[in-house]
């Protein structure tokens, strides 16, 4: 048996087309161009590359980017002042402060200073609380990407056994809450979990977000299960550097029913989900019902 490959690139392209159409509708019917402010502090190479792709993606769907690249010695007070300016700017519907931040800046204070309705990363404690209590909210982008990929295989999650390996505030925690809100039966595993392999073997849907290259082996997977691999790990094989997930793909693809590849699975979806959040934020700020993208 070979698993169905959950093609994140194709699903992301379809979603991008839908976002573009809804952006166009907002502009043509209501005269509003959604604006996304992307704030980068310092010169982290990976962060620079992420923010460049995000700004490009924003333009491609007809939204307006507002890019801020500030020096590494920016103070916390200066950054909070920028966020407050963006909070008050009616041309800006979404604010994203790229993490990590330099050591003199406390990321939790910055996240808390973003107005929750413009928090397109979905990291603000108020948005986390809304997710927890089942209220409409802006959710973090990677978990949205994962749930959309899961739903491409399982339109209903009612009663399904899901194992979420990892409990970070960016991926594991919010994704497990989204899965619970979808009526799945969710188990969350972390570094103190005992019998991880047995838990994996019971899962009908296995989501892994731990940051450990090819950690989950093929014989840990229930035959026919759906595997969502969030991991992005750079490894060196035979002097060549490449990216692998948290799941041993070559083994897993022979056992799973469906699986996301790395690269080409969750990664391409995540950035489009940022556009989804910006669009939703714009509709909500205009007092309109959010589109069903």
Calpha distance 90→83 (Å, rounded): 13
Distance in Å, CB of 99 to ligand NDP, minimum:
10
Q: List the x/- string, 84-123, binding to ligand NDP by CB under 6 A.
A: ----------------------------------------
Interface segment toward ligand NDP; rule CB under 6 A; list 24-32, 67-75, 224-232, 278-286? 224-232
Q: Which of 30, 56, 151, 190 binds ligand NDP (CB under 6 A)?
A: 190
Q: List the x/- string, 247-276, binding to ligand NDP by CB under 6 A.
A: -------------------xx--x------
Distance in Å, CB of 9 to ligand NDP, minimum:
13
Interface segment toward ligand NDP; rule CB under 6 A; list 23-31, 45-53, 111-119, 160-168? 160-168
191 is a contact residue toward ligand NDP (CB under 6 A): yes
* Contact by Cβ (8 Å): 66, 39: no
Distance in Å, CB of 273 to ligand NDP, minimum:
9
Instruction: Specify whether 84 is catalytic.
Output: no
Residue 83 φ/ψ region, left for φ over 0, alpha for ψ in the -120 to 50 degree band, beta for the rest: alpha
The residue annotated as part of the active site, out of 93, 117, 119, 121, is: 121
Q: Which of 122, 231, 257, 261 binds ligand NDP (CB under 6 A)?
A: 231
203-222 positions binding ligand NDP, by CB under 6 A = 209-212, 215
Report the residue number, 138 or 266, with the smaller CB distance to ligand NDP: 266
* Contact by Cβ (8 Å): 162, 204: yes
Q: Which of 115, 181, 233, 285 binds ligand NDP (CB under 6 A)?
A: 233
The residue annotated as part of the active site, out of 93, 98, 119, 246, is: 98
Instruction: Specify whether 98 is catalytic.
Output: yes
Q: Which of 51, 180, 189, 199 binds ligand NDP (CB under 6 A)?
A: 189
Q: Concatenated DSSP letters for the chain?
A: --PEE--HHHHHHHHHHHHHHHHHHHHHHH----EEEEEEES--HHHHHHHHHHHHHHHHTT-EEEEEEE-TT--HHHHHHHHHHHHH-TT--EEEEPSSPPTTS-HHHHHHHS-GGGBTT--SHHHHHHHHTT---PPPHHHHHHHHHHHTT-S--TT-EEEEE---TTTHHHHHHHHHHTT-EEEEE-TT-SSHHHHHHH-SEEEE-S--TT-B-GGGSPTT-EEEE---EEEEETTEEEEE-SB-HHHHTTT-SEE--SSSSHHHHHHHHHHHHHHHHHHHHTT-PPP--
How is residue 207 written in tokens? 């989501």
Q: Which of 34, 94, 166, 257 binds ligand NDP (CB under 6 A)?
A: 166
Output the residue with the shortest Cβ distance to ligand NDP.
Answer: 168
Report the residue number, 35 or 267, with the smaller CB distance to ligand NDP: 267
172 is a contact residue toward ligand NDP (CB under 6 A): yes
The CA-atom distances, in angstroms, between 131 and each of 115, 145, 152, 180, 233 are 16, 16, 22, 10, 28
Instruction: Specify whether 54 is catalytic.
Output: yes
| Positions that interact with ligand NDP (CB under 6 A) | 142, 165-168, 170-172, 189-193, 196, 209-212, 215, 230-233, 266-267, 270
Active site residues: 54, 98, 121
């Amino acid at each position: 048996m070979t698993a169905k490959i959950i093609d994140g690139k194709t699903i992301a392209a379809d979603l991008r087309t839908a976002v573009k159409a809804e952006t166009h509708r907002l502009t043509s019917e209501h005269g509003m161009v959604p604006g996304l402010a992307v704030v980068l502090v310092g010169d982290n190479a990976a962060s620079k590359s992420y923010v460049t792709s995000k700004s490009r993606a924003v333009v491609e769907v007809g939204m307006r980017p507002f890019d801020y690249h500030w020096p590494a010695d920016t103070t916390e007070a200066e950054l909070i002042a920028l966020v407050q300016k963006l909070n008050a700017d009616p041309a800006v519907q979404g604010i994203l402060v790229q993490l990590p931040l330099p050591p003199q800046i406390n990321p939790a204070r910055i996240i808390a200073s973003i107005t929750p309705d413009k928090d397109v990363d979905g990291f603000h404690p108020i948005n986390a609380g809304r997710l927890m209590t089942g209220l409409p909210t802006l959710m973090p982008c990677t978990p949205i990407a994962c749930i959309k990929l899961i739903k491409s295989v399982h339109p209903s999650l009612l009663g399904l056994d899901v194992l979420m390996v990892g409990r970070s505030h960016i991926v594991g925690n919010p994704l497990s809450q989204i899965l619970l809100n979808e009526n799945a039966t969710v188990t969350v595993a972390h570094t103190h979990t005992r019998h991880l392999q047995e838990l994996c073997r019971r899962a009908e849907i296995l989501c892994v977000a731990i940051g450990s290259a090819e950690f989950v082996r093929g014989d840990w997977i229930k035959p026919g299960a759906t595997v969502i691999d969030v991991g992005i790990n750079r490894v060196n094989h035979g002097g060549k550097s490449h990216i692998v997930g948290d799941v041993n793909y070559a083994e897993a693809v022979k056992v799973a029913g469906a699986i996301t590849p790395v690269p080409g699975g969750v990664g391409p979806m995540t950035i489009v989900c940022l556009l989804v959040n910006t669009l939703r934020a714009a509709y909500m700020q205009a007092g309109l019902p959010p589109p069903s993208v």
